[in-house]
Amino acid sequence: MDFLHCMELAQAERLVDEHLKQGMVGEEEVELLAAVGRVTSRIVWSVDDLPGYARSTVDGFAIRSEDSFGASESAAALFTLIGEIAMGLPVCQTLQPGQAMAIPTGGMLPEGADAVVMLEYTEQPDAESLLVQKMVAPSENVVRRGEEIAAGTVLVDAGVRLCDKQVGLLAACGCSRLWVKQRLKVAIISTGDELVDIQDTPREAQVRDVNTYSLAALLTRWGCEVKRYGIVRDSFEQFLRQLTEATHECQLVLISGGSSVGARDYTVPAIQALDRPGLLMHGLAVKPGKPTIFGLAGSVPVFGLPGHPVAAWIVCEVLVRCAIEKMIGVTTNYRSKKVSAVLSRNLPSLPGRDDFVPVRLVEQATGYVAEPIFGKSGMIGLLAKADGILHVPAANSGLYQGETVWVRLLGGEGV
Amino acid sequence: MDFLHCMELAQAERLVDEHLKQGMVGEEEVELLAAVGRVTSRIVWSVDDLPGYARSTVDGFAIRSEDSFGASESAAALFTLIGEIAMGLPVCQTLQPGQAMAIPTGGMLPEGADAVVMLEYTEQPDAESLLVQKMVAPSENVVRRGEEIAAGTVLVDAGVRLCDKQVGLLAACGCSRLWVKQRLKVAIISTGDELVDIQDTPREAQVRDVNTYSLAALLTRWGCEVKRYGIVRDSFEQFLRQLTEATHECQLVLISGGSSVGARDYTVPAIQALDRPGLLMHGLAVKPGKPTIFGLAGSVPVFGLPGHPVAAWIVCEVLVRCAIEKMIGVTTNYRSKKVSAVLSRNLPSLPGRDDFVPVRLVEQATGYVAEPIFGKSGMIGLLAKADGILHVPAANSGLYQGETVWVRLLGGEGV
């Protein structure tokens, strides 16, 4: 199979997009803290005005601003002090002309007051009098009711993956429970006569089943519920039985191929043996990632991923992720965190093929330098060493040393 | 309290560092996938060589490279084909001079072979003969046993927060279970007469308890086990009782202040009433974050955070985090993901004070532009709108428009 017979990535993305139903998973209501990392299934709006009352931003005295007009250090305005505002208690009095009340930062302005004069611009000749030595403008040192958020304002759209920096705003607006999309159920089946599970000791000629675990970590980060089916060996019939079961139990199936010819030979006929439409793509013009397979058993997408762990990871990041976001109903375009960097060396590439190259990011005074990391085929330590992935688009015949490039950060430290 | 009487951030960091014991939390053994986001408590090394056997990187024929010397398209070397290597099965035969065996990608080289010739450079005149039309160098198309990782190689140091891109390497090397640091138990106590829990409807002059939730989200992301003590109102005695209980039940205590004077007044005497050494810092030269308090009840650090939610978050990010990483025993220096950006406007700042400014990152062809976001004191939507936090160090009297700056990314999308 050469790249001429492979499907270009952009076309594969369209194919995946066309065949999957937007937001097909159900919804559930969860508590605010449990909603972090989940995707909203409904628009979230503010229940209340924020702040819920006109609030002082300083320690001082609530007054009617017009009563301070003309006041200065040499000609202080005299007010009658009628009391003190306590935090958390409603204020019953209404401020009449010439009256003032002491107010703490965050305190609620009394009816009639429209501004606060700071403590340092006042003097108290006695317990019932206040001298104000500065003119105060209407709304000065005050956040008006609803000034930050009015009740009914949209806080978060539907289809947004919530992050913890949004928790404070949602808490303030009374969103203690949210409707979110259910977790997508994803099956991972490993194939390959040479594979053993990671807790087993490989005998000669055997290797550990890496992809089940690295893909599970990635999918878990994306909020999926992963069901691991383990390693299927032996016969085509057994593989087909396992695959059929997975398409019934899960909403998306990943077949993580061993690199054996036998394992590769199974995936295509097995997908063809499932419900229609069956096989839709065989071969992807992505490096690494060429032996990628995509099909649909009824409405359940099935991806056959390359056996090479770095290739499997990258195809999962660039193509399987489209399927997942579409099915969950993420409406904001997915944008991985990315950084600009200067490329450290020429990076030749074939036009018509999308290349993804692991890079190390080296910090310099003016920004990052991106250093591509290479390794022999099958080398597994590349991702662990890399800080990000550099995309060389299909339209390019490579990138040049010194060029500014965008690097997708490898996420997932959870920090 | 003015900034002259506050402690500089660098000094506060040293104070925290001096008073806390490195890696004081215990350890536990967990499965590989459960270790993602956790901190290793022991060095992780490879159990086995990787690969565990000399492996072919192509489909072709295993040979002794010296037998191909001098071979070319016009003068092919003749080999005797003695069999086919199956994936996952050990190879019993030893290759003698002039012999070859068919081998798939990933297959194990037989004894005696040291290279693989690709399928496309061969011809098979009959079932037992092979013509090789190309010279092959020793180790060509082969990854030697242990070439990527030798048994005993350190894969991950102790004190490292694991991320999912490392899972593949660990799986390949047989690290199916890992020793990690236990979760740090952190108490959050809210104080403030004006606070109500987020599921309650605030009456006039009341606000919802934002900090308990936004800080819990942040601490959960850092792998802590958060115990929320809810809102303490009423009396100093009740507050002291709750605080004492928290220092007995948890390993670190955050007091998230309401903005009321009463609440602020409680924290200092309460810390002084606990076990020695008690109060160690009152006031931090950080904007926002001035009213920060730090003390130690025996060996349990207690932080009094500002009531302002953005300030509480930032102090947690820049100072409390140092305490947490020290106690868990993160030995790699903590580095938040950061990006370089060009500053969109002048940003004046007082020397001697560390400023942290929420910024939006705007993508341009040559990289990001950082646009500071401002809001009235107490505004809570700033973080939700921001992509990152810009640090103006204490030594600076500000930053200039057009300067290249580093912006810490606000993390936590979990994607």
Query: Tokens at residue A103, please?
Result: 């107010």
Confidence of residue A410 (pLDDT cuts 50, 70, 90): confident
| CA B247 from centre of chain | 27
Confidence of residue B334 (pLDDT cuts 50, 70, 90): low
Cβ contacts below 8 Å, chain A against chain B, sum to 328
In chain A, residues with a C-beta closer than 8 Å to the C-beta of B317 are none
> Residue A2 above 80 pLDDT?
no
Residue B392 in 3-state DSSP?
strand
Helices A321-328 and A9-19 pack at an angle, to 10 degrees, of 30
Distance between CA atoms of residues B91 and B111, nearest Å: 8
Which among A87, A149, A262 is the nearest to B87, CB-wise? Answer: A262
Q: How far is CA B331 from CA B41, B42, B45, B300, in A?
A: 10, 11, 17, 20
Q: Does residue B414 sit within a domain?
A: no
Predicted model pTM:
0.93
C-alpha torsion B106→B111→B115→B118, nearest 10? -50
Which of these three, B143, B164, B198, is where a domain ends?
B143
Report the pLDDT value the prediction gives residue A133, as an integer from 0 to 100. Answer: 97
Q: Do A164 and B221 touch (CB under 8 A)?
A: yes
The dihedral through the CA atoms of B319, B320, B321, B326 has a sign that is positive
Report the pLDDT value the prediction gives residue A3, as an integer from 0 to 100. Answer: 55
- Whether the CB-CB separation of B166 and A384 falls below 8 Å is answered with yes
**Closest listed residue to residue B315, CA positions, set B354, B351, B370, B342:** B354
Query: Tokens at residue A254, please?
Result: 């990943």
Q: Do B48 and A201 touch (CB under 8 A)?
A: yes
Confidence of residue B178 (pLDDT cuts 50, 70, 90): very high
CATH of the domain at A273: 3.40.980.10
Residue A359 in 3-state DSSP?
strand
Mutate to test the interface with B, among A44, A91, A169, A264 (most CBs of B within 10 A): A169
pLDDT tens-digit series, residues B314-329: 999 999 999 999 999 9
Q: Does residue B415 sit within a domain?
A: no
Report the pLDDT value the prediction gives residue A196, as an integer from 0 to 100. Answer: 93
pLDDT tens-digit series, residues A25-65: 999 999 999 999 999 999 999 988 999 999 998 999 999 99
- The alpha carbon of residue B285 is apart from the nearest alpha carbon of chain A, in Å, by 19
- The alpha carbon of residue B335 is apart from the nearest alpha carbon of chain A, in Å, by 9
Confidence of residue A89 (pLDDT cuts 50, 70, 90): confident
In chain A, residues with a C-beta closer than 8 Å to the C-beta of B373 are none
- Chain A touched by B285 (CB under 8 Å): no
pLDDT tens-digit series, residues A120-172: 999 999 999 999 999 999 999 999 999 999 999 999 999 999 999 999 999 99
Query: Tokens at residue A368, please?
Result: 């990052």
Mutate to test the interface with A, among B198, B227, B338, B404 (most CBs of A within 10 A): B198
Q: Do B207 and A51 touch (CB under 8 A)?
A: yes
Q: Which of residues 83-142 of A touch B (CB under 8 A)?
A: 86-91, 104-108
Mean of pLDDT values over A343-352: 94
Question: Do B19 and B92 sit in the same domain of this protein?
Answer: no
Single-letter residue type at A59: D
Q: Do B213 and A167 touch (CB under 8 A)?
A: yes
Q: Which of residues 308-347 of B touch A (CB under 8 A)?
A: 309-310, 313, 334, 336-337, 339-340
Count structural domains, chain B.
4
In chain B, residues with a C-beta closer than 8 Å to the C-beta of A266 are none
Kindly report the average pLDDT of chain A as a whole number.
92
- Whether the CB-CB separation of B279 and B271 falls below 8 Å is answered with yes
| CA B163 from centre of chain | 6
Distance between CA atoms of residues B130 and B248, nearest Å: 77
pLDDT tens-digit series, residues A286-339: 999 998 999 999 999 999 999 889 999 999 999 999 999 999 999 875 556 889
Q: Which residue of A has its CA nearest to B109?
A: A205
| Phi–psi pair at B362, nearest 5 degrees | -110, 130
Q: Does residue B229 sit within a domain?
A: yes
- Chain B touched by A366 (CB under 8 Å): yes
- Chain A touched by B13 (CB under 8 Å): no
Single-letter residue type at B139: S
CATH of the domain at A365: 2.40.340.10
Report the pLDDT value the prediction gives residue B395, as an integer from 0 to 100. Answer: 93
- Side-chain-side CA neighbours of residue A309 (13 Å): 31
Cβ neighbours of residue A261 closer than 8 Å, sequence gap 6 or more: B59, B87, B104
Q: Which of residues 249-268 of B touch A (CB under 8 A)?
A: 258-263
Cβ neighbours of residue A347 closer than 8 Å, sequence gap 6 or more: A355, A357, A372, A390, A392, A398, A399, A400
In chain B, residues with a C-beta closer than 8 Å to the C-beta of A340 are 339-340, 366-368
Question: Do A322 and A196 sit in the same domain of this protein?
Answer: yes
Question: Measured at the alpha carbon of residue B204, what is the angle toward residues B198 and B210, in degrees to the nearest 5?
Answer: 25
Which among A106, A163, A367 is the nearest to B260, CB-wise? Answer: A106
Which of these three, A309, A328, A347, is where a domain ends?
A328
Report the pLDDT value the prediction gives residue A140, as an integer from 0 to 100. Answer: 96
- Whether the CB-CB separation of B54 and B144 falls below 8 Å is answered with yes
Higher pLDDT, B267 or B45: B45
Which of these three, B301, B328, B355, is where a domain ends?
B328
Question: Do A192 and A265 sit in the same domain of this protein?
Answer: yes
Question: Do A204 and A344 sit in the same domain of this protein?
Answer: no
Question: Do B15 and B97 sit in the same domain of this protein?
Answer: no
Question: Do A228 and A244 sit in the same domain of this protein?
Answer: yes
Question: Do A189 and A205 sit in the same domain of this protein?
Answer: yes
- The alpha carbon of residue B276 is apart from the nearest alpha carbon of chain A, in Å, by 32
Which range has the worst mean pLDDT, A97-111, B72-86, B401-415? B401-415
> Residue B2 above 80 pLDDT?
no
**Closest listed residue to residue B375, CA positions, set A174, A136, A135, A149:** A149
Q: Do B165 and A59 touch (CB under 8 A)?
A: no
Mean of pLDDT values over A376-388: 82
Confidence of residue B415 (pLDDT cuts 50, 70, 90): very low
In chain B, residues with a C-beta closer than 8 Å to the C-beta of A151 are none
Q: Does residue A316 sit within a domain?
A: yes
In chain B, residues with a C-beta closer than 8 Å to the C-beta of A147 are 376
> Residue B1 above 70 pLDDT?
no
Distance between CA atoms of residues A221 and B263, nearest Å: 39
Which range has the worst mean pLDDT, A253-262, A368-377, B171-180? A253-262
Question: Do B162 and B193 sit in the same domain of this protein?
Answer: no
Q: Does residue A395 sit within a domain?
A: yes
Confidence of residue B312 (pLDDT cuts 50, 70, 90): very high
Which among A57, A168, A368 is the nearest to B340, CB-wise? Answer: A368
- Whether the CB-CB separation of B254 and B301 falls below 8 Å is answered with no
- Chain B touched by A59 (CB under 8 Å): yes
Which among A50, A195, A384 is the nearest to B166, CB-wise? Answer: A384
In chain B, residues with a C-beta closer than 8 Å to the C-beta of A55 are 378
Q: Does residue A333 sit within a domain?
A: no
In chain B, residues with a C-beta closer than 8 Å to the C-beta of A104 are 259-261
Q: Which domain holds residue A363?
A: 338-409
- Chain A touched by B402 (CB under 8 Å): no
The greatest distance separating any two alpha carbons of chain B, rounded to the nearest whole angstrom, comes to: 97
Query: Tokens at residue B384, please?
Result: 């939700």
Question: Do B277 and B231 sit in the same domain of this protein?
Answer: yes
CATH of the domain at B167: 3.90.105.10
What ipTM, to 2 d.p.? Answer: 0.92
Confidence of residue A412 (pLDDT cuts 50, 70, 90): low
In chain B, residues with a C-beta closer than 8 Å to the C-beta of A412 are 36, 163-165
Q: Does residue A17 sit within a domain?
A: yes
- Chain B touched by A207 (CB under 8 Å): yes
- Chain A touched by B37 (CB under 8 Å): yes
Question: Do B278 and B307 sit in the same domain of this protein?
Answer: yes
Which among A143, A367, A376 is the nearest to B57, CB-wise? Answer: A376
pLDDT tens-digit series, residues B215-258: 999 999 999 999 999 998 768 899 999 999 999 999 999 998 75
Which among B172, B204, B260 is the nearest to A90, CB-wise? Answer: B204
Report the pLDDT value the prediction gives residue A334, as an integer from 0 to 100. Answer: 52
Confidence of residue A263 (pLDDT cuts 50, 70, 90): low
Question: Do A210 and A355 sit in the same domain of this protein?
Answer: no
- Chain B touched by A153 (CB under 8 Å): no
- The alpha carbon of residue B14 is apart from the nearest alpha carbon of chain A, in Å, by 22
Give B90-113 as a DSSP string. Answer: ----BPPTTEEEEE-TTPBPPBT-
Which among A211, A212, A415 is the nearest to B161, CB-wise? Answer: A415
Higher pLDDT, A245 or B261: A245
In chain B, residues with a C-beta closer than 8 Å to the C-beta of A218 are 164
Which among A36, A198, A367 is the nearest to B404, CB-wise? Answer: A367
Question: Do B230 and B277 sit in the same domain of this protein?
Answer: yes
Label residues B44-69 b or e (16+ Cβ within 10 Å = b): bebebbbbbbbbbbbbbbbbbbebbe
